Structure 1
């Protein structure tokens, strides 16, 4: 599959470019970015072509991987889908429900394959764990803590300069990760309550359609010593905990997402992490964001 990369930021450099360049079944067709000099530098590093026109790169590819801010991703995704190109998208799919629905509708209308890269869903140990817990059922409650120190003083995160993360915070950055592992096990959400904590911390309290309740604590401003990810399920079978990070980094997971995209394109069967799933995640994030904003208003 010929795949082009739209985006040149830290995530594109850290994950997408090495994943595409090192995938044995991918022809890395080129790079486009909003900063031509960054596209030229990234393309030179991986011996591919820098494009000044995004549509030209789309035309030269069978699929495109998007490593762009969620307010930029939807329009380019829709254009690529309408051009008949398969899509490897990033989370969150968009920052509004309307934009996320536009992407999902464009993919359906064009009958192209699309996979949204919820990182943990492409780690085999995590996916096996999710499948096992979903099959067991009987879960009473769940807790997910997704705490990072991106905006904490004295940290050197490459994402600290991200305007959309700074504006929208943990709810939109790490919230999709938490929802991506809770929804397959506990089912869809039928009720959302949200509250603010310190910094950008958001706490969500969810009721699921299979009867379970879950709580999420999300932050990009946690103290470094407190940062980490924990997901814990409690129910009829006792306590189950999400497998620990194996330290492999995002590149192998992204290559598996490429494989999933190729499989979806070959078979015509949607992947579980498709734009419709990402749209539902966006709807829940938007609902939670509305609740927290409303409660801040005197």
Structure 2
């Protein structure tokens, strides 16, 4: 199984990336440095994470050539609108300390003010045309959001980054994207969001099916879940700040799940979303100022 996927514009993207959601700014550089040393070549961040600077510092200190690492960031809803989104790119590029961002995406749909979402995406199209980004996309867009976006803009998103793990698979949304050449990118790919509630019995990491498959392969539950994504053609961005876990999550290219094992994991879908419902995202509730530096 290849360690890369190809986006709808021909750009190659690593099948496994490294995420820094909720990683404190002062820990981000160390975590990203560990990931790059392990072998990760995709780093996913966002303006709203307030840690783009740490990602840029780690890349700079790594000694790796710029074209060896695929950098991805996201525009927060507070910066939607055509001119505002162009400026959001400048802020992100400055913090990341790069001239080109490989994948630049809208962090959420803004259902109550979708005209701002459309204007923001048109700014992404302009950035792509100007060579300031190599690919553009969206995150947390549902089918109705994608339908409207596709009808009012010119470029099909390269990715839709959404919550996907064995307990919440969004298969209909994934299929809609696949039919149109939109790659599904999974956030919380190993279901970390299922363990936040304190009830370990309902965590993907302790699921009997996943654990038994892991034992059969001499792998961890996390590695099995990441392998499941890879074999479904989904790009995954696990996160951790622990070097051992960072390395473990990358060690998923030396085994393969059987069709029967994949089917057993497929059957774990509960249909229960862990993150916020996309329809509740409003500027009033979720708006925040994204600083210049």
TM-score range, shorter chain: 0.3 to 0.5
Instruction: Please report the TM-score for the alignment, with normalisation by the length of structure 1.
Output: 0.34
- More strand per residue: 1 or 2? 1
Q: TM-score, normalised by structure 2?
A: 0.34
